[in-house]
Structure 1
Amino acid sequence: MLTFKMVQPEDKEEILSFTSNTWEWGDYIPYVFDEWLDHKNGDFIKAVLDNKIVGISHIGYLSDWEAWLEGLRVHPDYRHIGVGTFLLDVSLETLKNKGIRVARNAIISTNIASQSLVKKRGFELVGEFLSFSRETTDLDTDGIRKADIRDIEFLLNIAREEAKNNSSLAKVGAYWNWEWQELSLIAIERMIKGALVLTDKDIKGFGVIRESMDDIEISSLYGDPEVIRKIIAYGLNLGYKLGISKCMLIIPEGWKHNRILEDFDFKESFEDYTYLVFEKII
């Protein structure tokens, strides 16, 4: 009989034995295991069958009403027996008991099995995002500054205005660290506290930059195109100075600033899939 428990430090070796090579390039679980284990705003769950760990998943609590579901992995020897469904159901019940009203997750467009699973549990597609990349380089970075808490309302107003014309941004326009969230003061504050949020002196636009596993990631780009260009240049230059060769840009489907991608010679990272964000009202 399947049961669930919280992951413990001593589970690391067993879990990484089946979560380190999920795809051709590997998996991100080894990079986030310790963070999830110590995550004060999350639950790291394991599925157990006959004293063996057969699956894992993680819940990140983004606000008092929103949660992010991620890292659902099933041991290859125990697939097709309902482990994934069990972990999803446990996560949703956990959220319900904690009074969380909205659950979201992201699935690549080619992963039909996972899409089918979440749809069966009432999740609906609310956003589609693409990844573009290029090599970092030494560029001029004048004209921008680091945003702070005093800028939150200005940044939110800029984002909400642009989101009126993009369905993905309207639902889940606040993104960083592979988590999508509804645009709100809490979401903007969370980005400022957890990443490098850049704006200009007149606050006409903004964007988020963070150092990922092996690249510099730029996302949540809003506002004046010239400010966006300066933020992208800053990200490319930052990666170059840090010795990171790759820069990744995450944008919504239908992004109105696509000309900027061409000007900076960004190429689509994955031609065969996009990132689909699903949402369930609990």
Structure 2
Amino acid sequence: MTEPKVRLARKSDKEAVLAFCQILPNNQKDYIPLVWDKWIRDPSGCIFVVTIDDVPVAIERVVLMSDSEAWWEGLRVSPQYRGQGLSKILELTINQYLVESGINISRCMILASNEIMADIMSKRGRKKVGNFDFYETDSINSPSTQLIKLNSNDLDYVCSLVKNSNDLTLRQEIYVSYGGKWQEITVKELKKRLSLGKIWGLKKDEKLLSIAIESYSENSNEKFWIGYVNGTKNSLPTLLYELRKLAHSLGYTLVGGFFPRSEVLSVSFDLANYIKINQRWVYEWKNS
């Protein structure tokens, strides 16, 4: 085999790359064809390509989520070149790029049912830091919702709720920023989300009971994506139900997202009539 080479993706790679990004190992349709054009234009991410005789045979993307965090996604290897160490070549190249960029923390997500990727994560010493369930349901046509759009004046209340709420039994230190990409929940992130009008709250007698942070998908405009929820045990079912109304008022037919596995959330989603679709695992490691 000709020695593999690694470079950044080009627009002209599209046809060759999509040729091996159609069907996933679990026989589901690949999402890469839906996001390729957006990815190639996005300056926050880099698509690394392994080529043989200048023909793309493997890809992986990394996105800089903050000054210290990176998100890995979209690892694909052409079937005829699997088992030849191409994913390891991509790993070493991306790791070097991140170290040189001063990025300390990396994360990625896999389907819990993906035994091949779970084995790769284990062999690479990557630590599982979260079990997340994917929930989805229809939006509801309603003339009103109890939810209000929070603003910068609510920052202290939002921070207090994120920091001190113990009802979820699982302290959630990362959230889905966008496109199925997790990053740390920081005061800086909360300020940004509030300024964008992307945090919704449920209040009673001016007291903030629960919140939801709005996210979005790179490959679907039909679903209202939620990247984070938190609040008191009794208020969460109402928050989740009201999100269905909000989604419809914003023009979405569906609402859903990835949420940490916990008994409190499981009960809350059942009460709000959401359906659990599958489970994802999030991994984290230090770049070195």
Q: Deviations over 1:25-45 (max 9, x none)?
A: 412212222222122222121
CA-atom RMSD in angstroms: 2.7
Alpha-carbon offset, residue 84 of structure 1: 1.5
In structure 2, distance between residues paired with 1:176 and 1:168: 20
1:254 aligns with 2:257: no
2:183 to 163, 178, 181: 181
What does 1:1-282 correspond to in 2, within 5 Å?
A: 1-22=3-24, 24-139=27-142, 141-162=144-165, 166-167=169-170, 169-170=172-173, 172-173=174-175, 175-189=177-191, 191-192=193-194, 196-200=198-202, 202=206, 203-210=208-215, 212=217, 213=220, 214-225=222-233, 228-240=236-248, 244-270=252-278, 274-282=279-287
Say whether the 8 Å CA contact 1:174–1:187 is kept in structure 2: no
For 1:181, the aligned partner's letter is Q
Indicate the larger mover: 76-85 or 252-261. Answer: 252-261
- Which residue type is aligned with residue 6 of structure 2? F
Taking only the aligned residue pairs, the percentage that are identical comes to: 21
- After TM superposition, the score normalised by the length of structure 1 is 0.86
Question: Within 1, Cα distance between the matches of 2:81 and 2:45?
Answer: 25
Q: How many angstroms apart in 2 are the aligned matches of 1:163 and 1:15?
A: 45
Distance 2:36 2:134 in 1: 24
For 1:119 and 1:86, locate their aligned partners in 2 and report how far apart those are by CA, in whole Å.
Answer: 17
Task: Give the deviation of 1:190 after TM superposition.
Answer: 5.1
Q: How many residues align?
A: 278
The structure with the greater share of residues assigned to helix is 1
State the Cα deviation string for residues 5-27 of structure 1 (Å, max 9, x = none). Answer: 11111111221222133254412
Q: Is the 8 A contact 1:195 1:210 kept in 2?
A: no
* CA distance in 2: counterparts of 1:163 and 1:173, whole angstroms: 16
- For 1:3 and 1:152, locate their aligned partners in 2 and report how far apart those are by CA, in whole Å: 48
Instruction: State the shift of 1:166 in Å.
Output: 4.2
Q: How far has the Cα of 1:3 moved from its partner?
A: 1.5
Tell me whether 214-223 or 158-167 shows the greater mean CA deviation. 158-167
- The code of the aligned residue for 1:56 comes to I
Unpaired runs of 5+ residues, structure 1, are none
- TM, length-normalised to structure 2: 0.84
Q: Which runs of 5+ in 2 are unaligned?
A: none
Which has the larger displacement, 77-86 or 153-162? 153-162
Q: In the TM superposition, what is the alpha-carbon distance from 1:133 to its structure 2 partner?
A: 2.3
Counterpart residue type for residue 278 of structure 1: Y
The 1:242/1:34 distance shift into structure 2, 3 A limit, reads same
Give, as a single letter, the amino acid of the residue that structure 2 aligns with 1:43: C
> 2:148 is matched by which residue type in structure 1?
R
Whole-angstrom distance in 1 between the partners of 2:196 and 2:81? 36
Aligned amino acid, residue 14 of structure 1: A
User: In the alignment, is the contact (CA less than 8 A) between 2:216 and 2:226 conserved in 1?
Assistant: no
Q: Secondary structure at the match of 1:269?
A: strand
Change (3 A) 1:83 1:164: farther
CA drift at 1:208:
2.4
Q: Match of 1:118, SS?
A: helix
Secondary structure at 2:172 match in 1 = helix
Q: Distance in 1 between matches of 2:143 and 2:271?
A: 15
